[in-house]
Amino acid sequence: MPAAASHALPDILPDPGAPVLLFDSGVGGLTVLAELRALLPQAPVIYAADNAGLPYGDKTEAQIAARVAGLLGRMTERLQPRLVCIACNTASTIALGMVREVLEVPVVGTVPAIKPAAALSRSGSIGLLGTEATIRQAYVDRLEREFASDKRLLRHAAPELVAAAERKLRGEPLGPGAFRRAADGLRAQPGGEAIDTVVLACTHFPLVSQELALAFGPEVRFVDGAAGIARRIAQLTQGQAFQRNHPDYALFTRAENDFAALSPALAEYGLDRLAVF
Ligand code: DGL
């Protein structure tokens, strides 16, 4: 008697060499890459930076959504990643839904870490630093309603910190001004003097957390979402085989004169080569 035909679709596992694609406007997503390396050192990674579009923070929602969805569509077609991570709060809070509709691979986004910050805060006064575009998003309003309705959440746009993080990774010196202004921008708001926890709602900002700690003082704790994002990627790729067929590399959307200055920092994150998409 013939065996009954099974109509269940077989599990389609990705090619072991298929990379995880980490995407940001610049070097901010490296903070997510560091956590991913710690959790999944064997995972091949392509780090993509849309430096031609940097900064995203001063763009409109329509500009960001069109740019990110278009680029990730083309990159996914060309690079065949097993998973895409939008390692950028600005792009995620605006375009995550749209990107998920366009791509067939799993897409992990970056959510401002309001939930863990609310759990940590003793004073009930929480600061949130992000880009101009991020802090005005309804996505952030929803997180505030859901996780911090009994807290005071104060938001401040700190685009200067994006530029500072970019400079720091190129080995350029940083003055304290931008960090002081970020701290003052939160402290000057009603309830700001009681802030004990600050959400770094831009993936660039943990790159300058030491400078921020000096500006805010020792009583303030910083929270970001990088470790949680890495855990989510590990969860979604559980059971998959990983094989690195070539060294991991960084892909930029525009050639820059200062690539040589950036290479040492990229190498520290295991990105041996820099290419233009
Ligand atoms: N790294 C991006 C974020 O997490 C923002 C940088 C930019 O303005 O492009 O929001």
The token duo for 70 is 């278009």
Q: For residues 270-277, give the mean pLDDT.
A: 96
Binding site membership of 55 for ligand 1 (Cβ less than 6 Å): yes
> For residue 185, which of 124, 127, 125 has the smallest C-alpha distance?
127
Q: What is the pLDDT of residues 158-208, one digit of tens each?
A: 999 999 999 999 999 999 999 999 999 999 999 999 999 999 999 999 999
pLDDT band at 2; cut points 50, 70, 90: very low
Q: What is the pLDDT of residues 49-64, one digit of tens each?
A: 999 999 999 999 999 9
Ligand 1 pocket mutation, candidates 85, 202, 253, criterion most atoms within 8 A of CB: 202
> For residue 253, which of 234, 224, 274, 272 has the smallest C-alpha distance?
274
Protein residue whose Cα sits closest to atom 2 of ligand 1: 88
Q: For residues 260-271, give the mean pLDDT.
A: 98
pLDDT at residue number 11: 67
Q: For residues 224-235, give the mean pLDDT.
A: 98
**Cα–ligand 1 centroid distance for 236 (angstroms):** 24
List the domain boundaries for the chain.
Answer: 20-110+227-276, 114-224
- CB burial readout 129-163, b (16+ within 10 A) else e: bbbbbbbebebbeebbeebbeebbbbbbbbbebbe
pLDDT band at 3; cut points 50, 70, 90: very low
Of residues 91 and 8, the one with the higher pLDDT is 91
Rounded CA-CA distance 270/247 in Å is 8
- Contact of 57 with 157, CB cutoff 8 Å: yes
Pick the range with the lowest mean pLDDT from 8-12, 18-22, 45-49, 133-137: 8-12
pLDDT band at 95; cut points 50, 70, 90: very high
Q: For residues 95-102, give the mean pLDDT.
A: 96
Q: For residues 36-51, give the mean pLDDT.
A: 98
Ligand 1 atom index nearest CA of 57: 8
Q: What is the pLDDT of residues 210-221, one digit of tens each?
A: 999 999 999 999
Binding site membership of 95 for ligand 1 (Cβ less than 6 Å): no
**Cα–ligand 1 centroid distance for 127 (angstroms):** 17
Binding site membership of 56 for ligand 1 (Cβ less than 6 Å): yes
One-letter amino acid at 239 equals: G
Helix, strand, coil percentages (3-state) for the chain, rounded to 5, are 45, 15, 40
pLDDT at residue number 1: 44
Binding site membership of 112 for ligand 1 (Cβ less than 6 Å): no
pLDDT at residue number 21: 98
Q: What is the DSSP string of 138-205?
A: HHHHHHHHHH-TTSEEEEEE-HHHHHHHHHHHTT----SHHHHHHHHHHHTSTTGGG--EEEE-STTG
pLDDT band at 110; cut points 50, 70, 90: very high
**Cα–ligand 1 centroid distance for 181 (angstroms):** 18
- Overall fold of domain 20-110+227-276: Rossmann fold (3.40.50)
- Overall fold of domain 114-224: Rossmann fold (3.40.50)
pLDDT at residue number 231: 98
pLDDT of residue 6 exceeding 80, the answer is: no
Catalytic residues: 88, 202
pLDDT of residue 152 exceeding 50, the answer is: yes
pLDDT of residue 209 exceeding 50, the answer is: yes
Percent of the chain at pLDDT > 70 equals 96
Q: What is the pLDDT of residues 62-73, one digit of tens each?
A: 999 999 999 999
Binding site membership of 162 for ligand 1 (Cβ less than 6 Å): yes
Q: What is the mean pLDDT of the chain?
A: 96
Backbone angles phi, psi at 121, to 5 degrees: -65, 130
